[in-house]
């Protein structure tokens, strides 16, 4: 009868906890924040201590209602929102929404185990107002920055634009990088590899030219190279030094949101959004059949922590001992240090049970789910394994005044490498690291099989990809696990950057906005801004600084800058984007214009010449009716569709993305349908109903 209501943030958590607390407890989810500043108004009373006006978030009304009625029916209410700044604020809002007394009603746990939860229930505390205030400072600051800078951009550049503490710095990173690339001057240099033979062996091994008369050697032209090879053709190659070393290589820590997004991007080619969608499916759980029912396959997916619950560590150790043998289990469980500034409210992302090997659940998962689950499972299992031991040999080889170096390595004990290999820098793997050298002796003379000179050019820094952008944002502590993917979508949507061949390139608009913000608000668009804000928030959390003072100190100068910017900036002219396409009436190059339905191509001679043409995106598929190109377009309502380039002569059109494959039954061209379960090839012929599951490529 005397029930206790416990409110958590996520429904999956509610379910789990309900399982091991008895009938005396009701567990309900809040689904994140319930109250916030209204979207349609500024809602911060700057004159009055920055007092924020909160309203119930649109769409969350029914949840509030349900929680109220559940609270009514309960004798006691406990607030078990996440143990971090945002969680504390959610608890505080709940306290007000549900009219709860200022008693010790707040509980927190870092692990969802019966023991941790029961312990937490025994130790409720009052809501920590300092934490709540830090959150309010963060929230109000973001509102001030976003809702003051954005309208400035509407007036000065283009309506609908936006700026903010996080998104603007992300754009800045991309713009800065592009400028570095443009300023980069490529330089030529040469390398020389000698392929050498040890007596009695028939396979040559490579050695790299390093030094000349003890000095680092830089070869910058073919002419220099030719002189050097001439001198080296007839030289004597003698081993002068051999160093043997044993190297231990430790596994990478288990995934956080950021590292999962990076690795899924590099290994599976998933965007941040797709990774989160599939991960959410794994987290929410799937019908596994058998006795298990619905089971969450992985722990919570929005986390900045690499911490692992001790039960999971012990389970992993048992598993490893059984499947791989004792030598693969490290003496002590591996604990990974968190990042500085990590809020540590959740564990690392890991399988809820290591015994659920990817292959055993493969048949219940879609292709995407299976691939992502395998990645998470392998990374976690490896993270609890013994280090790999690698024997490396480095040999110095003299050739007159020249010094070559050969390296070889042999894996002595694979350790975690049996399970997981981290993909650090794209696909470029140093293959030669894996090679072994023949046994060599100091003083031994080697035969020269071949000299291999190679021309290189220094490369500009790479453009950001989703992976490297997320990585950089995390390192700079800009944004949070729940916002990396949405932030990327925002800057794309605003037209600040475009994605080309998986790389981010700033648009003219992006550059203009960054220049404007750098000029007038250099502090805000600085990569250090968030870090400095976090320092202040820390002080608020410690009770050493009132939150309203932090805001006042920020707002005074900011207000000045705003006024000055308003006066000094005229209307910013955006250079016209000129396309390669010609006007069919007057042969001038068409320019990109903004219309009601988005971008389109128009003749620059408007209004004398009114020629227009849709701006179109070829998808590299031919039209089944006329063989022309299929292009992606948008309907009036904004929905994407695919049509033939030769419209209106050819009127082929499809909602789903056409492919080059024909249906084996009726010969109609197949289309791609993507649903929650992944992507399938489907026959658009309604009579036919042919469906092809996309094949697995993984072992």
Partner DNA sequence: CAGTGAGCGAGCTTCCGCTTGACTT
Closer to DNA at the Cβ: 70 or 591?
591
Check residue 138 for interaction with DNA (CB under 7 A).
yes
Which listed range, 330-338, 379-387, 486-494, 521-529, lies at the site for DNA (CB under 7 A)? 486-494
- Cβ at position 562, least distance to DNA in Å: 13
- Cβ at position 34, least distance to DNA in Å: 8
Check residue 481 for interaction with DNA (CB under 7 A).
yes
Check residue 272 for interaction with DNA (CB under 7 A).
no
- Cβ at position 482, least distance to DNA in Å: 4
Check residue 273 for interaction with DNA (CB under 7 A).
no
Check residue 307 for interaction with DNA (CB under 7 A).
no
Check residue 652 for interaction with DNA (CB under 7 A).
yes
Strands 4-8 and 25-29: parallel
Q: How far from 503 is each of 175, 177, 178, 492, 499, CA to CA, in Å?
A: 12, 12, 11, 12, 5
- Give 92-96's long-range contacts (Cβ < 8 A, gap of 24+): 92/127, 92/129, 92/132, 93/33, 93/34, 93/35, 93/54, 94/7, 94/30, 94/34, 94/67, 95/127, 96/35
Q: For residues 395 and 207, what is the distance between their CA atoms, to the nearest angstrom?
A: 9
Closer to DNA at the Cβ: 273 or 356?
273
Which listed range, 220-228, 458-466, 482-490, 556-564, lies at the site for DNA (CB under 7 A)? 482-490
DSSP string, 75-87: SEEEE---SSHHH
Binding map of DNA across residues 75-94, x = CB under 7 A, - = no contact: -------x-x-x--------
Which listed range, 200-208, 410-418, 478-486, 520-528, lies at the site for DNA (CB under 7 A)? 478-486
Closer to DNA at the Cβ: 86 or 133?
86
Check residue 615 for interaction with DNA (CB under 7 A).
yes
Q: For residues 15 and 38, what is the distance between their CA atoms, to the nearest angstrom?
A: 31
The phi, psi pair for 548, rounded to 5°, reads: -70, -30
Which listed range, 46-54, 370-378, 554-562, 608-616, lies at the site for DNA (CB under 7 A)? 608-616
Check residue 143 for interaction with DNA (CB under 7 A).
yes
Which listed range, 364-372, 384-392, 545-553, 612-620, lies at the site for DNA (CB under 7 A)? 612-620
Check residue 159 for interaction with DNA (CB under 7 A).
yes
Q: For residues 236 and 448, what is the distance between their CA atoms, to the nearest angstrom?
A: 8
One of 104, 160, 627, 664 touching DNA (CB under 7 A): 160
Q: Which of residues 161-200 bind DNA (CB under 7 A)?
A: 161-168
Check residue 548 for interaction with DNA (CB under 7 A).
no
Q: Which of residues 343-362 bind DNA (CB under 7 A)?
A: 343, 346
Asked if 45 contacts 53 with a C-beta cutoff of 8 angstroms, the reply is yes
H/E stretch holding 45 reads: strand 44-45
Respond yes or no: is residue 300 known to be catalytic.
yes
Q: Which of residues 7-46 bind DNA (CB under 7 A)?
A: 9-13, 29, 31-33, 36-37, 39-42
Check residue 624 for interaction with DNA (CB under 7 A).
no
Q: Which of residues 276-295 bind DNA (CB under 7 A)?
A: 280, 284
One of 124, 614, 628, 678 touching DNA (CB under 7 A): 614
Q: Which of residues 659-678 bind DNA (CB under 7 A)?
A: 675-676
- At 57, is the secondary structure helix, strand, or coil? coil
Extract the tokens encoding 695: 């094949």
Q: Give 646's DSSP letter.
A: T
Q: How far from 237 is each of 304, 412, 439, CA to CA, in Å?
A: 53, 29, 15
Check residue 130 for interaction with DNA (CB under 7 A).
no
Among the listed residues 147, 283, 300, 402, the single catalytic one is 300
Q: For residues 491 and 485, what is the distance between their CA atoms, to the nearest angstrom?
A: 11
| Strand order across the 678-682 sheet | 657-662, 669-675, 678-682, 691-693
- Cβ at position 102, least distance to DNA in Å: 23
Q: For residues 354 and 350, what is the distance between their CA atoms, to the nearest angstrom?
A: 9
Closer to DNA at the Cβ: 314 or 578?
578
Start-to-end Cα distance in the chain: 54
The count of chain residues that interact with DNA, using the rule CB under 7 A, is 89
With a CB cutoff of 8 Å and minimum separation 6, the contacts of 469 are 170, 173, 174, 488, 504
What are the residue numbers of the active site? 300
């Amino acid at each position: 009868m005397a029930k206790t209501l416990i409110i958590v943030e996520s429904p999956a958590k509610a379910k789990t906890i309900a399982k091991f607390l008895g009938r005396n407890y009701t567990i309900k989810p809040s689904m994140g924040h319930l109250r916030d500043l209204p979207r349609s108004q500024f809602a911060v009373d700057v004159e009055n201590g920055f007092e924020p006006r909160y309203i119930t978030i649109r769409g969350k009304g029914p949840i509030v209602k349900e929680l109220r009625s559940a609270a009514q029916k309960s004798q006691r209410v406990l607030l078990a929102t996440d143990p971090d700044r945002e969680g504390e604020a959610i608890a505080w809002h709940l306290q007000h929404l549900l009219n709860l007394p200022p008693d010790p009603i707040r509980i927190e746990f870092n692990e969802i185990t019966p023991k941790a939860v029961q312990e937490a229930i025994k130790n409720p505390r009052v809501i920590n107002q300092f934490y709540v205030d830090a959150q309010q400072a963060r929230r109000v600051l973001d509102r001030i920055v976003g809702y003051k800078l954005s309208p400035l951009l509407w007036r000065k550049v283009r309506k609908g634009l936006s700026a903010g503490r996080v998104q603007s710095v992300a754009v800045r990173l991309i713009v800065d990088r592009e400028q570095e690339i443009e300023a980069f001057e490529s330089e030529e240099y040469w390398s020389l590899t000698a392929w050498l033979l040890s007596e009695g062996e028939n396979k040559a091994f490579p050695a790299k030219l390093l030094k000349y008369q003890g000095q680092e050697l830089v070869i910058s032209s073919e002419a220099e190279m030719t002189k050097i090879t001439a001198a080296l053709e007839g030289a004597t190659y003698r081993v002068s030094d051999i160093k043997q070393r044993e190297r231990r290589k430790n596994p990478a820590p288990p995934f956080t949101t950021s590292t999962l997004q990076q690795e899924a991007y590099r290994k599976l080619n998933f965007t941040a959004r797709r990774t989160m969608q599939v991960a959410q499916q794994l987290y929410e759980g799937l019908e596994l059949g058998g006795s298990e029912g619905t089971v969450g396959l992985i722990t919570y997916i929005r986390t900045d922590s690499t911490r692992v619950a001790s039960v999971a560590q012990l389970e992993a150790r048992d598993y490893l001992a059984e499947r791989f043998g004792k030598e693969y289990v490290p003496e002590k469980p591996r604990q990974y240090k968190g990042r500085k500034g990590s809020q540590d409210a959740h564990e690392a992302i890991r399988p809820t049970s290591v015994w659920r090997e990817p292959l055993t659940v493969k048949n219940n998962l879609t292709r995407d789910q299976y691939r992502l689950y395998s990645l998470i499972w392998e990374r976690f299992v490896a993270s609890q394994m013994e280090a790999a031991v690698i024997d490396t040999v480095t040999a110095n080889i003299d050739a007159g005044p020249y010094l070559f170096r050969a390296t070889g390595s042999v894996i002595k004990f694979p350790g975690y490498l049996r399970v997981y290999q981290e993909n650090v820098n794209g696909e470029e793997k140093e293959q030669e690291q894996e090679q072994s050298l023949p046994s060599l002796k100091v003083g031994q003379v080697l035969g020269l099989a071949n000299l291999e000179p190679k021309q290189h050019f220094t490369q500009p820094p790479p453009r950001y990809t989703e992976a490297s952008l997320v990585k950089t944002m995390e390192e700079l502590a800009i944004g949070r696990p729940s916002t990396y993917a949405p932030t990327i979508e925002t800057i794309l949507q605003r037209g600040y950057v475009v994605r080309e061949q998986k790389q981010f390139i700033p648009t003219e608009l992006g550059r203009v906005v960054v220049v404007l913000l750098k000029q007038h608000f250099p502090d805000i668009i600085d990569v250090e801004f968030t870090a400095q804000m976090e320092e202040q928030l820390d002080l608020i959390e410690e009770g050493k600084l009132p939150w309203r003072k932090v805001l006042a100190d920020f707002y005074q100068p900011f207000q000045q800058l705003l006024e000055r910017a308003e006066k000094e900036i005229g209307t910013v002219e955006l250079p016209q984007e000129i396309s390669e396409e010609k006007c069919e009436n007057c042969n001038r190059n068409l320019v990109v214009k903004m219309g009601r339905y988005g971008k389109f191509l128009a003749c620059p001679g408007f209004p004398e010449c009114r020629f227009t043409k849709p701006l179109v995106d070829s998808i590299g598929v031919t039209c089944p009716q006329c063989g022309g190109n299929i292009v992606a377009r948008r309907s009036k309502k904004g929905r994407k569709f695919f049509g033939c380039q030769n419209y209106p002569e050819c009127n082929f059109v499809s909602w789903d993305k056409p492919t080059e494959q024909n249906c084996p039954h009726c010969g109609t061209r197949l289309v791609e349908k993507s649903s929650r379960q992944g992507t399938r090839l489907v026959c658009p012929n309604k009579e036919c109903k042919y469906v092809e599951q996309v094949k697995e490529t993984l072992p």
